[in-house]
Amino acid sequence: MSASETIHVDGVWLPAASGDTREVLDPADATIIQLVAEGGAQDADAAVAAAARAFDGGAGVWPRTPVAERAALLRRVADLLQRDREEIALIESRDTGKTLEEGRVDVDDVTNAFRYFADVVTNESGGRVVDAGSADVHSVVVHEPVGVCALITPWNYPLLQASWKIAPALAAGNTFVIKPSEVTPLSTVHLIRLLVAAGLPAGVANLVTGAGVPVGARLAEHPDVDLFSFTGGLVSGTKAGQAAVAGAKKIALELGGKNPNVVFADACATEEGFDTAVDQALNAAFIHSGQVCSAGARLIIEESVRDRFVTELARRAERIKLGRGTEDGVECGPLVSQQQLDKVEAYVASALAEGARLRCGGARPEPSEVRPATGYFYPPTVLDGCHREMTVVREETFGPILTVETFTTEDEAVALANDTEYGLAGAVFSADTARARRVAARLRHGTVWINDYHPYLPQAEWGGFGKSGIGRELGPTGLDEYRESKHIYENLRPAPVRWFAG
């Protein structure tokens, strides 16, 4: 396989049919890491055809492979991920800009997801017998794979988002075509190599590197794709989703978020509580330079503690070490691309024009030994005095921007936190357990943390209310997304029904 043969169809690594390539850049200095195949509609068609043959055809036995064997393969993939942990963390760090440590955490999380779905299918019974109201009837509901799945992933957590789709899709017995983000495709290429090394039959896992249009768009409309699962932004997700729905495919959309982090004064009543709440607010907003769908980008804080809290938050945010993700001691890497940097700068400018007060950040940092001048660096930025009419509060910036809004009552806190078209995730910090649980119950978001921010579990569903999407990943529901239910009704004593006199 040459470096630019990154299309995988029917077990073979290929260049793009057109011969086109794309430069994958290191966001820390804008140098080229690798050339990858720039696939097109023709490559997408070939990949779908391979996946369809592997699902339906003679040699394609994956849907009928015993569950224990499918689970064993997923466990082998998990072991291989751990074997290659450092290599993958480095690939992910160079491709996305995240720190090496974040890359390692991603590999561990993904390993757990493969093991989780292996366990779920292993421990399930083969079906659910239902009472048909007659001893002469055997009625059972079984699960079957959907068929050919098209999987589309974004650039911020390439390995993780791919795995959240691939592990349940394979566990359920599907075949698939994945199209990673054209910005960060490299860890997905490695993951497909691991699936091959683990013994997955040719044609079950196919990969087409290339742009959203034409490759993703072709997969969305392709008549032989049965399921379309997309993670990415609201605009491209709804557009692709419409094309998929027009073909009556099953769809899952994991879209953006504008996530509230609600902090009550009582959470800050002790020094320890204050320290924890500030530390967690930093983590919520600035990990991976805020390029996280669930980033706690809206700090919604009780007015009485705002000054002290925001002053300390800004002090710590200014000290975050910004640089190339592979350097020791660096805490935040660059943004992923020039486009993302331009977008973040525009959001800060619009916020200041709309009256926000800059507490820290807000301008590109000076280059340094760990921060090449050509890298897409932008510092953690805290904007105080924000309100819900501001663009920066309403829209997902997907960058290291934290806005500050205040409240004086619990009802007001809840109203602010729910005042978003999204509904992916949010948190509440309070020392009053009853209040924290009350507020959590009222938040219209798919994941709510109490006195914490960001953890997720492979056994717990992930997904959004509102415009954060349709469907769920992870957990039992994340597996069911990739299955059809089939009711088999068996008459044990066949006899005429005489509905018609005959």
Instruction: Supply the residues annotated as catalytic.
Output: 254, 293
Measured between alpha carbons, how far is 216 from 183 in angstroms, rounded to an integer? 14
Place of tokens 């980033």: 295
Query: What is the three-class DSSP state of 230?
Result: strand
**Amino acid at position 10, single letter:** D
- Dist CA 424 CA 413 (whole Å): 17
Nearer to ligand NAD, 143 or 249 (CB): 249
Q: How far is the CB of 41 from ligand NAD (least distance, A)?
A: 12
- How many CB atoms are located within 10 Å of the residue 242 CB? 12
Two tokens, residue 425: 């995730």
Burial group, residue 145, by CB count within 10 angstroms (0-12, 13-18, 19+): buried
Of 305, 320, 326, 433, nearest to 378 by C-alpha is 320
Q: How far is the CB of 154 from ligand NAD (least distance, A)?
A: 3
Using CB under 6 A, pick the residue from 181, 188, 261, 403 that binds ligand NAD: 181
Question: Which secondary-structure segment (H or E) carries 479?
Answer: helix 475-480
Of 249-257, 322-330, 351-359, 362-370, the window that binds ligand NAD (rule: CB under 6 A) is 249-257
What's the CA angle centered on 481, arms 190 and 140, to 5 degrees?
125
Which residue in the set 92, 182, 302, 405 belongs to the binding site for ligand NAD (CB under 6 A)? 182
Task: Give the position of tokens 């009485």.
Answer: 304
155 binds ligand NAD (CB under 6 A): yes
Is residue 213 a contact residue for ligand NAD (CB under 6 A)?
yes
Q: Which of 39, 212, 361, 375 binds ligand NAD (CB under 6 A)?
A: 212
Q: Across 31-120, where does the E strand assignment appear?
A: 31-37
DSSP result, 391-436:
HHHHS---SSEEEEEEESSHHHHHHHHH-SS--SEEEEE-S-HHHH
- The answer to whether 62 and 175 are in contact (CB under 8 A) is yes
Query: Which has the closest alpha carbon to 293: 388, 422, 427, 123?
Result: 422
User: What residues numbered 256-315 form the site for ligand NAD, per CB under 6 A?
Assistant: 256-257, 293
* Sign of the alpha-carbon torsion through 101, 81, 39, 48: negative
Q: Say whether residue 236 binds ligand NAD (CB under 6 A).
A: yes
Residue nearer to ligand NAD on the CB measure, 156 or 326:
156
In the list 127, 201, 233, 372, the residue contacting ligand NAD (rule: CB under 6 A) is: 233
Q: Is residue 152 a contact point for ligand NAD (CB under 6 A)?
A: yes
Q: Which stretch binds ligand NAD (CB under 6 A): 47-55, 153-161, 315-323, 404-412?
A: 153-161
Instruction: Determine the Cα–Cα distance for residues 219 and 49; give it in Å rounded to an integer.
Output: 11
**Least distance (Å) from ligand NAD to the CB of residue 397?**
10
- Which residues is 403 bridged to in the sheet? 298, 383
Judged by CB, which is closer to ligand NAD: 63, or 216? Answer: 216
Give 205 or 436: the residue with its C-beta nearer to ligand NAD. 205
Bridge partners (DSSP) listed for residue 489: 139
**Minimum distance of ligand NAD from residue 155's CB (angstroms):** 4
Question: What part of residues 410-429 is at the interface with ligand NAD (CB under 6 A)?
Answer: 424
Taking the complex as a whole, the smallest distance from the CB of residue 394 to ligand NAD amounts, in Å, to 14
Give the distance from CA 435 to its chain's centroid: 30
By the rule CB under 6 A, 239 interacts with ligand NAD? yes
**Is residue 232 involved in binding ligand NAD (CB under 6 A)?**
yes
Please give the size of the binding site for ligand NAD, defined by CB under 6 A. Answer: 34
Q: Confirm or reject binding of residue 216 to ligand NAD (CB under 6 A).
A: yes
- Is 176 strand, coil or helix? strand
| Residue nearer to ligand NAD on the CB measure, 88 or 255 | 255
Min CB(150)–ligand NAD separation in Å: 9
Residue numbers 454-493 binding ligand NAD by CB under 6 A:
464, 468-469
Q: Binding ligand NAD by CB under 6 A: which of 55, 114, 117, 157?
A: 157
The residue ranges that bind ligand NAD (CB under 6 A) are 152-157, 161, 179, 181-182, 211-213, 216-217, 220, 231-233, 236-237, 239-240, 254-257, 293, 396, 398, 424, 464, 468-469
